[in-house]
């Protein structure tokens, strides 16, 4: 779904940025342009980023647990 109508950014693009290594809202903004115009999408965009980062961190911990 589209999160940012001004810049045409979807939740999938935000998740992809996190998968590619972005871990801060600033990085997401630089890579996608989300919330760089009117800013009304910032809360939703940040929440999607937080969820994606949490999922990525859990996956990292799980992969470490299997490595031990």
Query: Smallest distance, Å, CB 44 to ligand FES?
Result: 9
Among 12, 19, 24, 40, binds ligand FES (CB under 6 A): 40
Q: Which one, of 52, 49, 37, lies nearest residue 7 by Cα? A: 37
Q: Is 14 in the site for ligand FES (CB under 6 A)?
A: no
Can you tell me which residue has the tokens 């939740």?
Answer: 11
Question: Nearest distance from residue 64's CB to ligand FES, in Å?
Answer: 36
- Quote the least distance from Cβ 28 to ligand FES, whole Å: 12
């Amino acid at each position: 779904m589209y999160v940012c109508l001004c810049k045409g950014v979807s939740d999938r693009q935000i998740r992809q940025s996190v998968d590619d290594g972005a871990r801060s809202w600033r990085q997401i903004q630089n890579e996608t342009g989300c919330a760089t115009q009117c800013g009304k999408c910032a809360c939703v965009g940040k929440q999607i980023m937080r969820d994606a980062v949490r999922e990525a961190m859990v996956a990292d911990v799980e992969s470490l647990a299997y490595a031990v």
